[in-house]
Structure 1
Amino acid sequence: MINPLQKPRLLPCCLLILALTGGEALFARDVEITVRDGDLEIPLEGARIRSWDGKEYLCDAEGKALVDVPDDRQVVIRAAYPGYENGSLSIPASGNRFSLALRLGGIMENRELVIEAQSPDTSETRSGRSVTISGEALSRTAEIGFIEDVMTSIKLLPGVGYSGMFDAQPSIRGGDPGDLMAAMDGFYIEQPYQWGGAFSIFVPQMVESARLSHGIFSSRYGHTISGLLEISTKRPSPTETQLELGVGTSEANLGLSYPLGGKGGIMAMGKVTYWDPFIWGAQALSKAVPAIDIINAITTAPYIRNFALTGNYRFTTDLETRATLFFGSDGVGMDYHNVFDDDDGHRDVNLRFKWMNYTAFAVTGLIWTPRNDMVFRANTGAGLYESDMIADIGYDQSGGDTVSADSPWADFPRNVQIDDTITDTTINVQGRADLDWDLGRGFIFASGVHELYSQWIKTEDLHTHIEQDDESTEFDDWGDMMVDHSLDVKNQGLSTSAYTLMEYQSPSQRFGAELGLRVEHFYFIGRDFTLQTMPVFNPRLNLDFNVLKNKGFADSLSLTAGTGLFSSMNDAITSIDISNNLTDFELKPNRSWTSLLGAKIDFAEKYSFTIEGYYKHVFDRAYTVTHTFIDPSNPYEKTNEIDYWFNGTGRVIGFDCMLQKMESRYLDGWLTYSFTWAQYRDPNAVPDPIPAGADIDSYPKTGTEWYYPSFHRYHNINLILNLKPSKDFNIGLHFGFASGKPTADDPGKRIGFSWPVDIKFTWFRFNPKLKTHTELYLGIENVQSLINVAEWITEANSYTGDEATSEYTPVYDIPIPMVSFGFKWRY
């Protein structure tokens, strides 16, 4: 049997010959680089430039220099100038004129502009593969609202489904929101959310850039069938001590950067919310205003506490190390007791709720350049996520038999007692190594391995008792119910991945290709059992064609085509125990096969238009089916049983387009439109409940038909405009539109469409003597709620999609505008 990872003997020989003869690019071009002051728009004469091959250049009186760069790959410019902060800019494989703006910082002696060759996978936005948002763009769109969040910007990108204001888990090109994998500085994070998914842990002030890969992205990356979000934290200044302070409506951010002798730096960043004073004030006010007495039920104000520490150090020009540490916590607590007495009887209501979450991880890595044509990267890290919840719900109604049919209490059972305690802990340790080798003549060879170990500890103790004597109420279908459910699992998983790929870029830049293969295997360890998957092979192919180049109205027109297989492990498997009777190879990773066609045109007037169409086939999707069994001898006794299946399927067809106006003096922004048609199928779903002891297989399956998932939306539109009437004032506008998604109780109906409107006013102030930057912003989200719009609720056939109007009702996400403000100061 031939090992698919074993290369033919001829390849190592070729690599050795090329290594001995040198890996420098044989094709190059001159590009004009203009370095200017970002605030005053004046050229910076005398900037020193050192290219990747050791040559040095100086900018002239106009801040310009002709630099020789490789013509077969992209490069990244890192800039520094005496008295200015570092800057960076990606230089694509096409184009001859580029501008780089620097902002004043501290005094930097003998700093220089450095051009380093970079692998195409780490470049900026790439058609057919990924979309990148820079730190500056993040500050405009993510720094708004009660909680500033990078996901606020990610949700505005093409292919991302609208999920609402307080939901940081969107659907990516028709995929399940849980399929989105996130990584910070190369560390895969399984639970990057806070407040139950309302926000992410990614604070804009900590982030240098964010890249969403939702196309046929490189074989270097895996663990997702939908999308990969890569977050890069800010790099500290190697020469300057910097301080940054931000204060918003309900949170404060603080950042401090300290240099390490010109070879690196260390940066500490923190974020805290301060809703406690608001809660305390409202509780004090409740003594005079009894109508708000319910505020006293809050025992722990909603809170978020995040801290990050990052640093890097360059030992030599060829060896650099970097480390990132993160700790975050969030939670809320409530203890509510009340008694109601009226003509319908006496009722006691008790609610005790406490919820705490913790996220922590540390990652360290190095970048080593043993040769000018070779880069080796390695990193390792460990992380912890824990969620603890205690909930006690009690409701007792006396006199319930006399409740009138139109009473608001008519739909409540006589007695309810629910006690639930849940602990969910995830521990993961991971490491990876990657090698990129520039073979010359446009070829790049890359390979790597990735190991990810996870441990899941889950416990739950649930006791439920619902008593209902009045058979005339809506709860007659429930009957008297007593359900005890317990969970106690400690499972481990080992995910092993390896990849190899070859990239090619023709000397004329007319054609590019990437062919790669990623192999993944998963091994599962329970208390008394083990399971494993068959190794899965995920080949991927991307082809790029540069049809036009520097043709008057257009700088370039490129086409891209790609196809590939992807795999990931579903969170559903983490609770498997020996009672589920699974055997080796029944356990399967989620799989998807995606194909894509796209086109991108860059206009001479700094406009860019991208359109991509795709088809995604999802198979081997994991899902669970919960069966409720009724004891024939005692219909009030019910038990639940969970089955795990790995034969779910899905199909998604869609296209995205994006019109972008590059950054300019008075106006920039982007317009996106996404169409998504997604259906899923769970073949082994059965009616619920069913009689105890019945043969499930004998029941007709209800999951044989395709259905629209709960997160599905047909249309998503986002318009982002940045108006700059002056250099110190910016008006940011966001208008969105999203068609309705299926309702939770009836998938045949869809809620009304959403059309969020947000406005952000920002004032800038720079003091050149003190070298301080000051920023003030006022944000107003959900402006459209000022208009009470009534819409027809759409009723749709969940299998065909045919729509018909049903009800007439007001529809909006939140009934009031959300006003926020922020103050930022940087030195």
Structure 2
Amino acid sequence: MKKYLLPIMLVLGTLRIFSLDIEILDEDLDLPLEGARVAYSGGEVFADPDGKVSVELPGGARRLVFSLPGYDDKTVVVQEDRKELTVRLRMSGIIEGQELVVEKAVPLVSDSQAGVAVAVSERQMESTAQIGVVEDVMSTIKTLPGVGYAGGWNARPSIRGGSPSETTVVLDGFEVIYPYHWGGAFSIFNPNMVDSAKLSAGLVSARYGRNISGLLEINSKTPDKPSFGFEASLTTTGTEAFVQAPLGKDAGLLLGGKLTWMEVSFALAGADGTFNQVPFIRDGYGKFFWKPADRLSFYANAFFGSDGVGVKIDSEPDEDSTIQTKGAFDWINLTGILSGGLKWLPTDTLLVQAMGGWNRFHERPEFQSTSSGEVEYSQAFLDKYDGDGTFDLDGADNGTINGAASFAVDGTYFEFLEDEVTDIFQGRAEAEWMSPAGTGLVIGGDGFYQRSGYGQEVDGYSDFFQGGVDLYTPISLVIDTDDNMVLNSGLFALVEFGSSEDAFSGEVGVRADHTYLWNDDISIQTWPVANPRLRFAWRPVRDAGKVRSLSFTAGGGLFSKLPFFARLFEERYGFEDFDFAPDRAAFGLAGTEIQLEGGWKFSLEGYYKYYFRRTYLTETPETNPIEMEIHDDGIGFATGFDLMLQKAESRWLDGYLTYSFVYARYKNPLEPVKEGQSSLIDGAPLGEWYYPSYHRFHNLNLIMNFKPASRLTLTVKGSLASGAPKAELGAAEPYAAVMRDADGTETVIERWRRSSTYSDTLRNDLSCPVDLKATFSDYYPRSKIRWEYYVGLENVFANLYTPKTNKSMDAFTGKDLSGSDEADFTIGSPVPSFGFKLSY
């Protein structure tokens, strides 16, 4: 009889029935949602005019999916001891009457989670992303808590004191290696292709590896509309169009693209003669969605993007010299993405997800310049070297150097070429099983194969110290790492308990990552690294008077990521098995969040991050060609706090205020072997603690949307950030250098230099840009066609104030270069923009 006891108990457990009373409300307006659908295994029910509905469910934990046209779906797991449930649905940012029907795992991909992530919908991004020279989702992301001020033309901000390269970006779960245009000025994520974005600033689930400082999840629109739809827009610098079409009742297709036409803008500004190739962006995007059954869906993404520019260089000589420099800078960048995945819910308690794809990144910048002309020796130089017998060999104090009053630099040149092609193939799969108690067990794995061909050639005249003599001579640097391959594999397991509706929720998990590097000459094995992670949330107050919820969150874990320059490894660096390892850091966080009636929300989070392994590069002194050395003993830490005050979207006013305080210090322990030696790439000092170049103590953002009329929205976006570090400069001094031509001819020339020493106290001026935007929108009479146009003005006070930094110096004359002291990239005046959009 005992052998039948367990099966009988399981059957009886499924026969238990419990009743649940549900109230469904609008998240922003707190109004009941009549007709909201509640789907569960075995049926569906709909809310009454008061937004209420009762449902009877089998015993154990059950998954409920809530949906209503015009609102985002929401999935909630309930246990049988639950008697009442209040669910709030958020309005989607899509066209009126459109319904989202794709089920999502708990928690929702697009939902904000206290202490974990901040999410923004398409509707929320309209005010901040759709403005400027290039409309970009990153314009919104850069205003979120934990994100350091990056300035204009920079889509790669620091997240909670970490390097921009420590943040991983994914598109519909697929990791994109370099999602940027124009060298990082803007991202490839067009607001018109994005449904929502979520930033996890440090406390990332064990599902994801290869990140240290954050995870940015971009969720593209799903073409699941039952009817045809389109969006077309005309902006300051280009045009774009997106079309959605159903393919039968179970599938859909989204196609779109973007094309810039900056030729017009530069021609009107009279600057078209500056370019061999006017800056351009050309992107194409497609997404296929198929849902053959209620519990099974497939998707496929395709993206191809290109950008480039060609700049002419033709500098005019100044009053102290006749030197003229001519040349060109050319840039081309290509990005390709093919990815796809599936989501399958075979039972109420089992969810299976899988994805895979390919990503290619090809970047080729090239710079060439030649200089010619003559420079007179300055009086300061003559006072120092005329008749010294060392550089002026005639020994006479006669106002000349070796009988000449000037020197020529004819034929000096500088050339730079970089060519990188990186292909990435990746895949991941996971399964989530939900126990009768409502606890989710997730197991999965991922693989990341990267093949890189990287070449860099630098050749040209440069200052070089060798054998006790200052030289001005051609030097070279050659890097050729063809077919370097990296394989990163990971396994993860985690337990999720509770949901956003429960008093207690969280996640406990661990992932193990392993990296293997190889090429034709060398292979490098590494030790696997274990990255445990923990997150816990407590909600002691819920729906009490004017307080919707009060929650406290705490968590932490270990994180690792291979540094981006790991693709440069070569046999000459001397690495052997287990000598190399990914960068690693420990992260901890604690925070609280309170939500009030009327859509008000306040959150406060504090964190600490410690780097116990960081990789950095240095050059070997006095070598020509230049040799690099790789070191992996770097350390550092970042700590601070973030706060956010948010007013949810409403009829008259909405927006948010964010503030982040960051204190970040790094150290490269290698002692410098010569004065002023620094690490390559970032120019950081050696042998001392320092603030990274992107560090800012204070970062404040204010976004306000005023709606004086139903068709009009006035947006104010303001930022205030303390300055980034700047070096302490000494006085400019002339010195004698020997210009050594390729044929061995030597000439004593005048050069100028000034010491540049890292400073813990000096900072650039604070940055405080303000943007204004007015948006008008409505529907054409008796139609479903919606029109919208906006006018915007970025950096309104640019004519009155521009943050300053150290000036650059002309090394031939010792004079400061005009216009070289701008701390942020600006054109010196406010930047107007406009846009017109039609949608159906």
TM range (shorter): 0.7 to 0.9
Residue number in structure 2 paired with 1:387 = 363
CA contact (8 A) 2:39 2:64 kept: no
Residue number in structure 2 paired with 1:797 = none
The yes-or-no answer on 1:454 pairing with 2:450 is: yes
Residue number in structure 2 paired with 1:333 = 310
Residue number in structure 1 paired with 2:512 = 519
**CA drift at 1:346:** 3.7
- Equivalent position SS for 1:149: coil
* Equivalent in 291, 300, 305 of residue 314 of structure 1: 291
Q: Which deviations, in whole Å up to 9, do the C-alpha atoms of 1:284-307 show, x marking residues without a partner? A: x6xxxxxx6xx4241100001111
Q: Which deviations, in whole Å up to 9, do the C-alpha atoms of 1:95-132 show, x marking residues without a partner? A: 72535658996999xx8x96957322635111121111
Q: Which deviations, in whole Å up to 9, do the C-alpha atoms of 1:773-806 show, x marking residues without a partner? A: 111111111113243378999xxxxxxxxxxxxx
Residue number in structure 2 paired with 1:715 = 698
- Equivalent position SS for 1:174: coil
How many residue pairs were aligned?
A: 754
Residue number in structure 1 paired with 2:788 = 775
Task: Give the direction of change, closer, same or farther, for the CA distance of 1:25–1:355 in structure 2 (3 Å limit).
Answer: farther
Distance in 2 between residues matched to 1:731 and 1:522, nearest whole Å: 50
- Equivalent position SS for 2:673: coil
> What does 1:596-615 align with in structure 2 at a 5 Å threshold?
596-615=589-608
CA contact (8 A) 2:71 2:89 kept: no
Distance in 2 between residues matched to 1:563 and 1:714, nearest whole Å: 23
> What is the letter of the counterpart of residue 489 of structure 1?
T
Residue number in structure 1 paired with 2:666 = 680
**CA drift at 1:86:** 7.1
**CA drift at 1:192:** 0.8
> What is the letter of the counterpart of residue 659 of structure 1?
L
The yes-or-no answer on 1:443 pairing with 2:436 is: no
Task: Give the direction of change, closer, same or farther, for the CA distance of 1:725–1:232 in structure 2 (3 Å limit).
Answer: same
**CA drift at 1:813:** 5.2
CA contact (8 A) 2:543 2:549 kept: yes
- Equivalent position SS for 2:797: helix
Distance in 2 between residues matched to 1:16 and 1:542, nearest whole Å: 35
**CA drift at 1:663:** 1.5
Distance in 2 between residues matched to 1:817 and 1:92, nearest whole Å: 50
The yes-or-no answer on 1:729 pairing with 2:712 is: yes
**CA drift at 1:178:** 1.1
Task: Give the direction of change, closer, same or farther, for the CA distance of 1:605–1:105 in structure 2 (3 Å limit).
Answer: closer
Residue number in structure 1 paired with 2:637 = 651
> What is the letter of the counterpart of residue 393 of structure 1?
S
CA contact (8 A) 1:255 1:267 kept: yes
- Equivalent position SS for 1:574: helix
**CA drift at 1:730:** 0.5
**CA drift at 1:330:** 0.4
**CA drift at 1:217:** 2.0
| Range with greater deviation from structure 2 (85-94 or 479-488) | 85-94
| Range with greater deviation from structure 2 (162-171 or 554-563) | 554-563
Distance in 2 between residues matched to 1:656 and 1:544, nearest whole Å: 18
* Equivalent in 779, 784, 789 of residue 766 of structure 1: 779
**CA drift at 1:389:** 2.1
Q: Percent identity?
A: 33
The yes-or-no answer on 1:564 pairing with 2:557 is: yes
CA contact (8 A) 1:414 1:468 kept: no
> What is the letter of the counterpart of residue 736 of structure 1?
S
The yes-or-no answer on 1:756 pairing with 2:769 is: yes
CA contact (8 A) 1:461 1:486 kept: yes
For structure 2, the residue ranges without an aligned partner over 5 or more in a row are 1-5, 79-83, 383-405, 728-755, 807-820
The yes-or-no answer on 1:742 pairing with 2:712 is: no
Distance in 1 between residues matched to 2:175 and 2:503, nearest whole Å: 35
Residue number in structure 1 paired with 2:648 = 662
Task: Give the direction of change, closer, same or farther, for the CA distance of 1:107–1:424 in structure 2 (3 Å limit).
Answer: closer
Task: Give the direction of change, closer, same or farther, for the CA distance of 1:711–1:413 in structure 2 (3 Å limit).
Answer: farther
Q: Which deviations, in whole Å up to 9, do the C-alpha atoms of 1:23-60 show, x marking residues without a partner? A: 9999885332358999xx99986x46241234333454
- Equivalent position SS for 1:785: coil
* Equivalent in 571, 580, 583 of residue 590 of structure 1: 583
Residue number in structure 2 paired with 1:433 = 429
Task: Give the direction of change, closer, same or farther, for the CA distance of 1:823–1:477 in structure 2 (3 Å limit).
Answer: farther
CA contact (8 A) 1:318 1:370 kept: yes
Residue number in structure 1 paired with 2:475 = 483
* Equivalent in 323, 327, 349 of residue 300 of structure 2: 323
Distance in 1 between residues matched to 2:243 and 2:585, nearest whole Å: 43
* Equivalent in 522, 547, 554 of residue 554 of structure 1: 547
> What is the letter of the counterpart of residue 770 of structure 2?
V
CA contact (8 A) 1:24 1:372 kept: no
Task: Give the direction of change, closer, same or farther, for the CA distance of 1:439–1:18 in structure 2 (3 Å limit).
Answer: farther
Residue number in structure 1 paired with 2:24 = 33
Residue number in structure 2 paired with 1:277 = 264
The yes-or-no answer on 1:49 pairing with 2:29 is: no
CA contact (8 A) 2:335 2:361 kept: yes
* Equivalent in 366, 373, 378 of residue 354 of structure 2: 378
CA contact (8 A) 2:720 2:766 kept: yes
TM norm structure 1: 0.84
Residue number in structure 1 paired with 2:164 = 177
Task: Give the direction of change, closer, same or farther, for the CA distance of 1:593–1:560 in structure 2 (3 Å limit).
Answer: same
CA contact (8 A) 2:422 2:451 kept: yes
CA contact (8 A) 1:27 1:507 kept: no
Task: Give the direction of change, closer, same or farther, for the CA distance of 1:770–1:376 in structure 2 (3 Å limit).
Answer: same
- Equivalent position SS for 1:51: strand
CA contact (8 A) 1:25 1:442 kept: no
The yes-or-no answer on 1:252 pairing with 2:239 is: yes
- Equivalent position SS for 2:801: coil
* Equivalent in 67, 89, 97 of residue 78 of structure 1: 67
* Equivalent in 130, 136, 143 of residue 117 of structure 2: 130
> What is the letter of the counterpart of residue 487 of structure 1?
I
CA contact (8 A) 1:361 1:384 kept: yes
> What does 1:217-236 align with in structure 2 at a 5 Å threshold?
217-236=204-223
**CA drift at 1:811:** 7.0
Distance in 1 between residues matched to 2:652 and 2:147, nearest whole Å: 28
Task: Give the direction of change, closer, same or farther, for the CA distance of 1:25–1:240 in structure 2 (3 Å limit).
Answer: farther
CA contact (8 A) 2:371 2:411 kept: yes
**CA drift at 1:336:** 3.7
Q: Which deviations, in whole Å up to 9, do the C-alpha atoms of 1:499-544 show, x marking residues without a partner? A: 0001122999222231100000000012211002210000011111
> What is the letter of the counterpart of residue 44 of structure 2?
E
* Equivalent in 686, 690, 706 of residue 689 of structure 2: 706
**CA drift at 1:605:** 2.9
- Equivalent position SS for 2:373: strand
TM norm structure 2: 0.82
CA contact (8 A) 2:169 2:215 kept: yes
CA contact (8 A) 1:104 1:771 kept: no
Task: Give the direction of change, closer, same or farther, for the CA distance of 1:397–1:538 in structure 2 (3 Å limit).
Answer: same
Distance in 1 between residues matched to 2:555 and 2:672, nearest whole Å: 38
CA contact (8 A) 1:653 1:678 kept: yes
> What is the letter of the counterpart of residue 166 of structure 1?
W
Task: Give the direction of change, closer, same or farther, for the CA distance of 1:43–1:550 in structure 2 (3 Å limit).
Answer: closer
Distance in 2 between residues matched to 1:768 and 1:26, nearest whole Å: 51
CA contact (8 A) 2:196 2:220 kept: yes
* Equivalent in 148, 153, 157 of residue 135 of structure 2: 148
**CA drift at 1:810:** 9.1
Task: Give the direction of change, closer, same or farther, for the CA distance of 1:182–1:516 in structure 2 (3 Å limit).
Answer: same
- Equivalent position SS for 2:124: helix
| Range with greater deviation from structure 2 (593-602 or 273-282) | 273-282
Residue number in structure 1 paired with 2:151 = 164
**CA drift at 1:354:** 1.3
Residue number in structure 1 paired with 2:535 = 542
* Equivalent in 252, 255, 262 of residue 265 of structure 1: 252
Distance in 2 between residues matched to 1:457 and 1:616, nearest whole Å: 33
**CA drift at 1:769:** 1.8
